[in-house]
A = this chain, B = another copy of it.
Amino acid sequence: MRDLLPAEKQKREQLISLIRETYAARGFQEIETPAVEAIERLSSGQGGDNEKLVFKVLKRGEELERAVSEGKELADLGLRFDLTVPLTRYFASNRASLPRVLKAIQVGPVWRAERPQKGRYRQFLQCDIDILGEPSELAELELISASLAALDAIGLSKATIRVNDRRLLKTQLDAAGISADQDRAMIAIDKLDKIGLAKVVEEIAESWGTESAQKVSAWLSADVSDWPEELAWVQKLGDDAARLRYDPSLVRGMGYYTGAIFEIEYPGAESSIGGGGRYDEMVGRWAGTDTPAAGISLGIERIIELSEIDSNKGKSLVVLIEDDFAGAMSLQEELIAEGYSVRLERKAKNIKAQLEELAANGYEFFAYQAASRQELEIRSLA
């Protein structure tokens, strides 16, 4: 986990703000769930491998004493590992107060106890949109269109999306004679990018025989310039459809997907910058009855690295003051009213070094305090 310095935090807030506005303009509404959820929910099987990475929160007081002495589960809560499991719990708990179709924005930290490695953090920010209650492809269309618009808004208009459908994958596996243990076959296919076609085919052959392997090979290397019938709806995106590509090997790790699946790519980025899909059965886990649902999550940490947007500070001015604090306070209010953001700073002995530090920190203008606004001489720090 890490601290954010002022410049990093400013860029982050600015990007998030642009993304939020883009989503809100398309009728999405922001919601929030707590950072912690009941431990049972975080180990229900919906979170796949992420469930192994939960930071667990210790029981408290007598309950903890009892758990220790009776050798029971020590934790009753856990830090959320994604925003999807909490959202479906939220929808199930608050259904009566929510619109029939919920179009939700969520921006918040999630936690995973992964081994520390370069560029990966144990607390990181996710930004999700989800549509719950919409069974038709209108959900997929809106999610894709809004995500591309949000990426455009922060200057990442080269983003593209790979698309597949879990139902299509299943049909293809059936046709290849792979009916048992389809999940394991999908895991093998998912590795195409990393290990290449030959090795995937080899893995399939080992478990399901040569004939199945040949069929999988043919399907994975087929021409994908045409959309399969199951994904023909993407054409309804108009111009945006050209930014989508059918990827027959796209699987996505999570077990909960039931339909279309997406992965967002950016030229030069080492890994995907977002992804999602349809998960029609998860709400039913908590609410009893299924609710159609689909979502797309943006990986904010990677997006921040890629986006080259300029932090827009407005006119930033530093007023160097001595002992007249009362005068400085009133001058500050006058300058704010003129549109400046105004930092008061006591004049250092070494003014040259002070001005250099201020310029390095991105401030644009400075002035020595004067008795009135008229007498104040605003100079550039450049």
Contact = CB atoms under 8 A, between A and B. Distances in A.
B6 A29 contact: yes
A88 interface: no
A74 B77 contact: no
B326 A27 contact: no
Given A94-B3, A141-B329, A346 B134 contact: yes
B56 A5 contact: no
A341 interface: yes
Contact of A138 (B103, B123, B235, B325): B325
B5 A94 contact: yes
A9 interface: yes
A32 interface: yes
B341 A26 contact: yes
A288 interface: no
A196 interface: no
Given A3-B32, A145-B329, A325-B141, A60 B113 contact: yes
A79 B101 contact: no
Give the dominant DSSP class at A's interface: mixed
A33 B97 CA distance: 33
A93 interface: yes
A343 interface: yes
Interface in A10-67: 10, 12-13, 24-27, 29-36, 55-58, 60
A30 to B, nearest CB: 5
A74 B58 contact: yes
A345 interface: yes
A64 B35 CA distance: 23
A136 B325 CA distance: 10
Contacts of A99: 357, 361
A332 interface: yes
Contacts of A1: 34-36
A237 interface: yes
A4 B27 contact: no
Contacts of A56: 57-58
Contacts of A90: 3
A378 to B, nearest CB: 15
A21 to B, nearest CB: 9
A371 interface: no
A374 B362 CA distance: 47
Contacts of A93: 3
Given A2-B34, A55-B77, A27 B342 contact: yes
A264 interface: no
Given A56-B58, A361-B99, A238 B326 contact: yes
A222 to B, nearest CB: 27
